[in-house]
Chains A and B, each alone.
Chain A
Amino acid sequence: MKFIDEFRDRELVQDLSRRLGRLAAGPATVMEVCGTHTMAAARFGLKSLLPPGVRLISGPGCPVCVTAQADLDAFLALGRTPDTVLATFGDMVRVPGSRTSLERERARGAVVRVVYSPLDAVDLAREQPGKTVVFFGVGFETTMPATAVAIKSAAALNLDNFLVLCVHKTMPAAIRALLAGGELKISGLLLPGHVTTIIGAAAYDFIPRDFGVPGAVAGFEPVDMLLALEAILRQLQEGAARIDNVYPRAVQAQPNPRAAALLDEVFAPSDAEWRGLGVIPGSGVTIREAYARFDARVRFPEVWQELPPAPPSACRCGEVLRGALRPSQCPQFDKSCNPTQPLGPCMVSSEGACAAAYRYERR
């Protein structure tokens, strides 16, 4: 079994779609909080398989999209420091900051290197002792262990020119803030499969317990997502609320112990600023004291103080990230905002809700 073809089987999918139709008892709004789910749903046209009245909306699951403008502006400002190499995942390159972007800085002469792993950034630092390599640590719990390994690797190599600008964020606190905010009536949550391989499904127990909302941990193939939606609709039909693990081939109730130990060694929980959600307590991490020499915020504290205030923008990405606005409802969508001229990250990130709607669903 290769786990791709079987989970995209047309007949299985059509059968699941019919089963959803029979289970649905009325309108329901299910929110997914994972950019990969956003893209998979759009790429496979899953919304057309849902029963009438059942809506799938996107939440703050795109790590590039939820990176605060000030954090991106700070990273961009670091690129203007002499002898600095900015290392980033490719997806950040075209995201507009307040005044510029990595793409434009690179065209201007800044050294911007796309890496596939934070360990590549460590290699860059090793190969260029005269330069300071700053890696933009974007991503949720799935990505954090790699950054932790990179920092430990840099420590083992005694590097003094490798830094991480850590803007990693953690999902459970953001979900709690969303549900507590009550802006939107969410009937159920489709939970991110890969984040959960790290944190364990029990991390979401507060969702049914404190908010009475059903949840299902889902993988990323069409069958995975439809099975998870089925689990949520079944809970709604039963009037129950619990967390169903519908991705048992990768997810368990408890956290991955090695990942947990690694993360605890390198990172400490902190508050974090999310685009669209503001500062959420305990939703981010900072680099621990023992590894502070790899922390870009410690090496360059002045960068945040020197940031000019952001100019006003028509971008409504923040509302999209909260699920309060669907991309097609944004007045700028497909008018002044498109993938070639994005106003904000949601239109340009490979996991952005607006990018998904534009690429796959536009009429």
Chain B
Amino acid sequence: MKTKHILLSHGAGGREMGRLIEQVFLARYGAGGKPGDDSAVLTLGGGQLAFTTDSFVVAPLFFPGGDIGRLAVAGTVNDLLTAAARPLALSASFILEEGLEIETLMAIAGSMRDTAAECGVAIVTGDTKVVPKGAADQVFITTSGVGEVVRPGVSGAAARPGDRVILTGTVGDHGAAVMLARENLLQGGGLASDVAPLTDLVLTLLAEGIEVHAMRDPTRGGIAASLNEIARQSGVAITIEESRVPVQPGVAAACEALGLDVFQVANEGKMLIFVAPGDAARALEVVRSRRYGQDASLIGEVLPGPPRRVQVRTLLGTTRLLDPPAGELLPRIC
């Protein structure tokens, strides 16, 4: 059955979305830099500029641990950081549904101001559109961001055999928290989103001279999506040690109860960092010493082959594939 219409799975961050992007967008206007990275890198004068864009359609607007405004700033900043760029400025465009309470909008804007101040980025331009009731769900935010590349060459295509994979903290927090909040499930879970801008953590790592080859923030599709993207872009294999992937007990329990694979659940305040093996121990120390990195763990490594294969050594010591996610997973979590 060939698809003629957009389906929810096209937005899930899994296989279907990848194919849609290739077949519709890349096929027509291509991707300037390395296709697959979260930020494009442009040459400007003597240096390089990272440029990224994102849209935020999360429901509900306010969830434990954050809101759509904080998500918009942190998500865009983190995308710039994956290109080893210091985030400089963001734009923020709003599509507002008629009838939205202005106080709600003020709360969102205030949250954006606070998050931007936390990570030293300026929101410098924007746009506002209003559509009739029913034509949008309260607020949609689109951002773009620019940053100054401080270390050229960091890309999803640059992972090498031997690289160690650092995960900066626990997985599944954001997707699980939003899912439970939206569907009103499993009362009393106490789960909260991890949404956070990682500027300090990443820039410190780079300032310390750690040899970083690739970085990715594992949003929709979780670390399963990001690890497979990098394996594909770099043409390498990746192996992950399940026992080393940190998961909060509440998140693990929620995922077990709902039949979700925590490796496929979204994160909004985490980074996967591929470092040269000689720098791995020091890198882990640096990350653990910074805010949002205290639970960082060395979760795996890059192997020469088979190319594009991501596998997990399970808690039991057996091996299984970690496939890119397919299907709709959790809609509207970012």
Q: Name A residues whose Cβ lies closer than 8 Å to a Cβ of B.
A: 4, 8, 10, 13-14, 42-46, 48-49, 93-94, 96, 100-101, 103-104, 106-108, 116, 222, 338-341, 348, 350, 358-362
A340 and B316 in contact (CB under 8 A), knowing A107-B6, A350-B259, A361-B321?
A: no
- Chain B's closest residue to A351 (CB) is B259
A8 x B319 contact (CB < 8 A) = no
- Within B296-334, which residues are at the interface with A (CB < 8 Å)? 314-321, 323, 326-328
Residues on B with beta carbons closer than 8 Å to the beta carbon of A104: 1, 3, 5, 7
Other than A44-B316, A339-B327, A360-B320, give 20 A-B pairs with Cβ distance below 8 A.
Answer: A8-B316, A10-B316, A13-B316, A13-B317, A43-B314, A44-B315, A44-B320, A45-B314, A45-B319, A46-B318, A49-B316, A49-B318, A94-B328, A103-B8, A103-B9, A107-B7, A339-B323, A340-B19, A358-B323, A359-B323
B251 to chain A, nearest CB (A): 13
Near A by CB (< 8 A), chain B positions 11-51 give 15-16, 19
Tell me whether A359 and B321 are in contact in the complex, defined as CB-CB below 8 angstroms, given that A101-B1, A340-B15, A340-B19 are known contacts: yes
- Chain A residues, Cβ within 8 Å of B118: none
Interface of A is mostly: helix
Contact B317 A14 (CB under 8 A): yes
Q: Which chain B positions have C-beta within 8 A of A339?
A: 15, 323, 326-327
Number of interface residues of B (CB under 8 A): 28
Contacts A94-B9, A94-B327, A103-B7: A48 and B318 contacting too (C-beta < 8 A)?
A: yes
Kindly list chain B residues whose C-beta atoms are within 8 Å of the C-beta of A107. 5-8
Bound Cα distance from A3 to B317, whole angstroms:
19
- CB B219 to nearest CB in A, in angstroms, measures 20
Nearest opposing residue in chain A for B186, CB measure? A116
Q: How far is the CB of A9 from chain B (nearest CB, A)?
A: 9
Q: Are A348 and B316 in contact (CB under 8 A)?
A: no
**Assuming A107-B6, A107-B7, A350-B259, is B326 touching A222 (CB within 8 A)?**
no
Q: Whole-angstrom distance between the alpha carbons of A246 and B119 in the complex?
A: 55
* Residues of chain B whose beta carbon lies under 8 Å from any beta carbon of chain A: 1, 3, 5-9, 15-16, 19, 183, 185, 256, 258-259, 261, 314-321, 323, 326-328
Give the distance to chain B from A88, nearest Cβ to Cβ, in Å.
Answer: 13
Provide the residues of chain A in CB contact with B314, threshold 8 Å: 43-45
Contact of B320 with A42 in the complex, beta carbons under 8 Å:
yes
Contacts of A362 in B (CB 8 A): 321, 323
* Cα-based distance from A208 to B1 in the complex (angstroms): 44
A41–chain B nearest beta-carbon distance, Å:
10
List of B residues within 8 angstroms of A222 by Cβ: 316
User: B6 — which chain A residues lie within 8 A by C-beta?
Assistant: 107
- Residues from chain A with a CB closer than 8 A to the CB of B261 are 43
A360 — nearest CB in chain B belongs to which residue?
B320
Q: Across the interface, which residues of B come within 8 angstroms of A358, CB to CB?
A: 323
- Let me know if B320 and A116 touch, CB within 8 A: no
A360 to B321: give the CA distance in the assembly, Å. Answer: 4
Contact check, A116 vs B185: say whether CB atoms are below 8 A apart: yes
Report the minimal beta-carbon distance from B166 to chain A, rounded to whole angstroms: 24
In the bound complex, how far is the Cα of B261 from the Cα of A340, in angstroms?
18
| Docked-complex contact B183 and A116, CB < 8 angstroms | yes
A4, closest chain B residue (CB):
B256
Once the chains bind, are A8 and B19 in contact (CB under 8 Å)? no
For the complex formed, measure the closest distance between the CB of B254 and the CB atoms of chain A, giving whole angstroms: 12
Collect the chain A residues with CB atoms within 8 Å of residue B319's CB: 45, 48
Nearest CB in chain A to that of B260: its residue = A350
Distance A222 CA – B314 CA, assembled complex (angstroms):
11
B residues in contact with A103, CB < 8 Å: 7-9, 328
* A-B contacts, 19 listed (Cβ < 8 Å): A42-B320, A43-B314, A44-B314, A45-B318, A45-B320, A93-B328, A94-B327, A103-B9, A103-B328, A107-B5, A116-B185, A116-B258, A222-B316, A339-B15, A339-B323, A339-B327, A340-B15, A360-B320, A362-B321
Closest 4 CB pairs of A and B: A45-B318, A339-B326, A360-B320, A107-B5
The residue in chain B whose Cβ has the minimal distance to the Cβ of A356 is: B320
- Please name all residues of chain A whose beta carbon is closer than 8 Å to the beta carbon of B327 when the two chains form the complex: 94, 339, 348
Chain A residues whose CB sits within 8 angstroms of the CB of B5 once the complex forms: 104, 107-108
Q: How far, in Å, is A280 (CB) from chain B's closest CB?
A: 27
Cα distance A116–B328 when bound, in Å? 15
Chain A residues with Cβ under 8 A from B185's Cβ?
116
A103 to B10, CA, bound (A): 11
